[in-house]
């Protein structure tokens, strides 16, 4: 009886952990999408991937203006649903710039 109870408890804890992870991923993804949406044409010069832990990986076009790059990074780094940001300007050249 005790073993069954422990197994059930363990399964419940695993499902709660999975739900929290999915929530962190969804919140980080939504945060990045909303911030990038504020910048017209951002889908042309930035790609990103939100991770299970709420961190975000971004690749900007190599010719992205420094001011724009820094502005977006600052917003992402200060967002409460994003745990960390790894970004670089190594993507293909964008014709918008």
**Containing domain of residue 53, as a range?**
2-91
Residue 51 inside a domain? The answer is yes
Which pLDDT tens digit goes with each residue over 56-87? 999 999 999 999 999 999 999 999 999 999 99
Residue 20 lies in a domain: yes
Residue 62, in any domain of the structure: yes
Higher pLDDT, 95 or 12: 95
Residue 96 pLDDT more than 50?
yes
Q: Residue 76 CB: number of other CB atoms within 10 A?
A: 20
User: Domain for residue 96, yes or no?
Assistant: no
Residue 26, helix vs strand vs coil: helix
- Per-residue tokens: 79: 């967002």
Q: How many domains does the chain have?
A: 1
Stronger pLDDT, 38 or 66, i.e. the higher one: 66
Sign of the CA dihedral running 4, 10, 14, 17: positive
Which residue has better confidence, 5 or 91?
A: 91
Query: Distance between CA atoms of 28 and 54, rounded to whole angstroms?
Result: 5
Highest mean pLDDT among 33-37, 40-44, 72-76: 72-76
The answer to whether residue 6 scores a pLDDT higher than 70 is no
Give the tokens for residue 6.
């422990």
């Amino acid at each position: 009886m005790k073993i069954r109870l422990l197994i059930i408890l363990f399964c419940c804890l695993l499902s709660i952990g999975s739900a929290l992870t999915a929530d962190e991923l969804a919140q980080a993804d939504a945060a990045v999408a909303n911030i990038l949406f504020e910048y017209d044409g951002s889908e042309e010069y930035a790609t990103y991937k939100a991770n299970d832990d709420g961190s975000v990986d971004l690749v900007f076009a190599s010719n992205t203006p420094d001011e724009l790059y820094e502005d977006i990074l600052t917003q992402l780094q200060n967002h409460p649903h994003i745990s960390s940001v790894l970004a670089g300007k190594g993507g293909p050249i964008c014709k918008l710039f």
